[in-house]
Amino acid sequence: MSVLVWVEHDGKAVKDATLAAVTAAARLGEVEALVAGQGVDGVAQEAAKIAGVTKVLVADDASLGHALAENVAPLVVELMGSRDAFVAPATTTGKNIAPRVAALLDVMQISEVLSVESADTFTRPIYAGNAIATVQSKDGKKVLTIRGTAFEKAAAEGGSAAIEQVSAKGDQGLSSFEGSEIAQNARPELTSAKIIVSGGRALGSEEQFHQLIDPLADALGAGVGASRAAVDAGYAPNDYQVGQTGKIVAPEVYVAVGISGAIQHLAGMKDSKTIIAINKDEDAPIFQVADLGLVGDLFKVVPELTEKLAV
Amino acid sequence: MKVLVPVKRVLDYNVKPRVKADGTGVDLANVKMSMNPFDEIAVEEAIRLKDKGVTEIVVVSIGELKAQETLRTALAMGADRAILITSEEKVEPLGVAKLLKAVVDEEKPDLVILGKQAIDDDNNQTGQMLAGLLGVGQATFASKVELTADSVTVTREVDGGLETEKLKLPAVVTTDLRLNEPRYASLPNIMKAKSKPLATKTAAEYGVDVSPRLTTLKVTEPGKRQAGVKVADVDELVMKLKAMGVAK
Ligand SMILES: Cc1cc2nc3c(=O)[nH]c(=O)nc-3n(C[C@H](O)[C@H](O)[C@H](O)COP(=O)(O)OP(=O)(O)OC[C@H]3O[C@@H](n4cnc5c(N)ncnc54)[C@H](O)[C@@H]3O)c2cc1C
Ligand SMILES: Nc1ncnc2c1ncn2[C@@H]1O[C@H](COP(=O)(O)O)[C@@H](O)[C@H]1O
């Protein structure tokens, strides 16, 4: 089977989410990687080194600069003419593009794949991860998005794939990119962080969120996340949200501070290796999934914890 | 300007889903069903756009006869007219998108607003598929929507932050949670909604093949986490963290 993998990148470097998608794709067959963008030579060089990638296809064009689904989909559809599966990481970009491709190929996409059971059978989460469905596809071609936390990352170095240029399909004239506010964050990215400290509604204000959560995260070398309640209240930006409708994370250690543990939040972090919860309510549902629980007022215990970790 | 809003009837988000013992799916017998939360947001957004040139809101649902209730809720919120497309069999996103395309071909809306994802199957596909089939622009995960006579400008929630795109109309938009806070329908509006038009059709009438492409072989419960231990104080937590190698 020949598999085309969508390379997630920021114009400069390959994003980690790609590596998990390559691992999943390799279970299906021979992996080719598609780098679409503008001025993406460097990305293509990097993609060629990913272990398991046999060829890198590069589409370098102004119309692909912002990965608009309207311009990317016709390119992927064309490339899929001679390939059997399209695999994208389940990032916001992957989720935006893959279903459009699937519809144009007349294929039912399989979203957030957790495991590849065989060439046509996959598992995926439903109901916010409260159930796992095993589904078999009757479609000739497969379109999948891959949950990054469910697959090992392919090695970023070691491969030496050939690089081939392919031509873009041009601007379809349906949409245009107007701008972005991408957070400049020195902390580890949530989806690849080894440790995450997340704050909830209990933090009470943006100021207190930063005063309490940031130093604790610094002491642990951690990334920072948040519950939806904290994001909605403006304590943290939207890209911090962990959960069913935010990011899915599975770090070595997840520290939930002042988060109750609603199923929609758990959906995003319950596969973390070790969960630590700090909450003043000893009956908070978060304690049902926490390996280590500390019952207490976060305004007291978090500064104390930060201080004791720093020495 | 006309807006089409597809709404799905799903297990209420407050209900904890239970996997059936025979592994065929999630138990939906005698549990509370509601409008998919993202679709409530889509209906609300359409209503708010009524001050911005929108004159008619048509809501559509595909599913069992009981999805009428979901459509009545949307009518009570402020939608003008509803279409129910019944199907005995569960229709997958690709089939839903094809039926919606048929509705769009008939109704010719300027804008279709869907939820970004239905919280039962968590597919996050239908809007993108519909846009692809229609050959129009798509703006997924919207947290802000600005409509003009011939375009819609949408702020999208993406992994790294926010992104803004402008689409030519007609176009497809899917909602994220922070787009708005949906209203509750008032009692008088619930009464009024009973006399708003609701047309019932069948999938077969549209001549669209919606036969499923996927077979669900089984549905299981994920591995359960065991509750761990509670530590007495910060010192004990620090000790445990050190033992784990997380802290120096
Ligand atoms: C469709 C849908 C999708 C959703 N998606 C997500 C999602 O992706 N992610 C997500 O997180 N949520 C999501 N939610 C929301 C979710 O249902 C909860 O509302 C949310 O997670 C609650 O956030 P919280 O735990 O911070 O707040 P709360 O539930 O209010 O919990 C606050 C906690 O802090 C504790 N506390 C209060 N004061 C202190 C103190 N001084 N010290 C210590 N502890 C204290 C309280 O005991 C409580 O347990 C979604 C909801 C819906 C309907
Ligand atoms: N059966 C359905 N009837 C009406 N709308 C639907 C249906 N299924 C999906 N949708 C719409 O498509 C969106 C995304 O659903 P999904 O792709 O299934 O996650 C939902 O939020 C609805 O707006």
Sign of the CA dihedral A190, A193, A194, A198? Answer: negative
Q: Does residue A191 carry a pLDDT above 90?
A: no
Query: CA–CA separation, A73 vs B19, rounded Å?
Result: 36
Write down all domains in chain A, each with its CATH number in brackets: 2-165 (3.40.50.620), 190-310 (3.40.50.1220)
Nearest chain A alpha carbon to B116: A245
Ligand 2 centroid – CA A159 distance (Å): 41
Query: Taking CB atoms and an 8 Å limit, are B237 and A138 in contact across chains?
Result: no
Confidence of residue B185 (pLDDT cuts 50, 70, 90): very high
A93-150: pLDDT as tens digits: 999 999 999 999 999 999 999 999 999 999 999 999 999 999 999 999 999 999 999 9
Closest-CA residue of chain A to B213: A138
Domain that holds residue B158: 2-244
Cβ–Cβ gap B230/A182 under 8 Å: no
Give which of B213, B229, B240 to mutate to test A binding, by max A Cβ within 10 Å: B213
Is the pLDDT confidence value at A67 over 80? yes
B100 contacts in A (CB within 8 Å)? none
CA separation for the pair B11, B38 (Å, rounded): 13
Cβ contacts of B245 on chain A, cutoff 8 Å = none
Q: Mean pLDDT throughout A156-165?
A: 96
Percent of chain B with pLDDT over 70: 100
According to the 3-state scheme, what is the secondary structure of B83-119?
EEEECCCCCCHHHHHHHHHHHHHHHCCCEEEEECCCC
- In this prediction the ipTM stands at 0.95
CB contact at 8 A, A51 and A155: yes
Q: How many A/B residue pairs have CB atoms within 8 Å? A: 254
Token pair recorded at residue B90: 């569960």
Beta strand B137-147 pairing with B171-175: parallel
| A79 touches ligand 1 (CB under 6 Å) | no
Q: Find the B128 Cα to ligand 2 centroid distance in Å.
A: 11
pLDDT of residue A192: 85
pLDDT-based confidence at residue A26 (cuts at 50, 70, 90): very high
Mean pLDDT of chain B: 96
Phi, psi at A226, each rounded to 5°: -155, 160
Structure tokens at B184: 């509750």
CA atoms within 13 A on the CB side of A244: 28
Chain A nearest CA to B112, separation (Å): 15
Atom of ligand 1 nearest to the CA of A241: 9
Q: Residue B82 pLDDT more than 80?
A: yes
Q: Do B140 and A295 touch (CB under 8 A)?
A: no
Q: Is A121 annotated as a binding residue?
A: no
Cβ–ligand 2 distance for B63 under 6 Å, the answer yes
Buried b (16+ CB within 10 A) or exposed e, B186-211: eeeeeeebeebebeebebeebebebe
Q: Please, what's the largest Cα pairwise distance for chain B?
A: 69
The mean pLDDT of chain A is 96
Contact A220 B247 (CB under 8 A): yes
A109 close to ligand 1 (CB < 6 Angstrom): no
pLDDT at A184: 75
Q: How far apart are CA B114 and CA A184, in angstroms?
A: 31
Determine the pLDDT at residue A310.
Answer: 84
Partner B contacted by A106 (CB < 8 A): yes
Q: Which of B26, B125, B236 to mutate to test the interface with A (most CBs of A within 10 A)?
A: B125
- Residues on chain A touching B26 (C-beta within 8 angstroms): 126-127, 130-131
Helices (H) and strands (E) in chain B, counts: 6, 13
Report how far apart, in Å, the C-alpha atoms of A84 and of each of A97, B148, B244 are: 17, 41, 44
Query: What is the structure's pLDDT at B10?
Result: 98
Instruction: Tell me how far apart the alpha carbons of residues A72 and B244 are, in angstroms, rounded to a whole number.
Output: 45
Give pLDDT, residue A188: 83
Give me ligand 1 centre to Cα A154, in Å: 34
Long-range CB contacts (within 8 A, 24+) of B230-236: B230/A282, B230/A287, B230/A292, B230/A293, B230/A294, B230/A295, B231/A292, B231/A293, B231/A294, B233/A294, B233/A296, B234/A294, B234/A296, B234/A301, B234/A304, B234/A305, B234/A308, B235/A308
Q: Do A247 and B159 touch (CB under 8 A)?
A: yes
Which CATH number do you get for residue B97?
3.40.50.620
Is A260 annotated as a binding-site member? yes
The bound ligand whose nearest atom lies closest to the alpha carbon of B13 is 1
pLDDT band at B225 (very low <50, low <70, confident <90, very high): confident
Are B172 and B132 in contact by the 8 Å Cβ rule? The answer is no
CA closest to A69 among chain B residues: B138
When divided into structural domains, chain B yields a total of 1
Residues found in chain B: 248
Confidence at residue A311, expressed as pLDDT on a 0 to 100 scale: 74
Supply the pLDDT for residue A189.
83
Which ligand 2 atom is at minimum distance from the Cα of B129? 17
Here the tokens at position A137 are 């596809």
User: Does the beta carbon of A227 lie inside 6 Å of ligand 1?
Assistant: yes
Find out whether A228 is annotated in a ligand binding site: yes
- CA nearest neighbour of A20 among A124, A146, A125, A193: A146
Tokens of A70: 């309207």
Could you tell me which chain B residue has the CA closest to the CA of A300?
Answer: B234
Residues 113-132 of A with CB under 8 A from B: 121, 125-132
Interchain pair A96, B247: CB under 8 A: no
Please indicate whether residue A244, judged by its CB atom, sits closer than 6 Å to ligand 1: yes
**Separation CA A275–CA B111 (nearest Å):** 44
Residue from A36, A41, A49, A37 nearest A5 by CA: A36
For residues B128 and B140, is the Cβ–Cβ distance under 8 A? yes
- Which ligand is nearest to the Cα of residue B63, counting in written order? 2
What pTM was computed for the model? 0.95
> Which residues from chain A sit within 8 angstroms of residue B220, using beta carbons?
131-132, 134
Q: Has residue A56 got a pLDDT over 80? A: yes
Question: Cα distance from A167 to chain B (closest Cα, Å)?
Answer: 21
Please give the number of the atom of ligand 1 that sits closest to the Cα of A284: 49
**Residue in chain B nearest A232 by alpha carbon:** B178
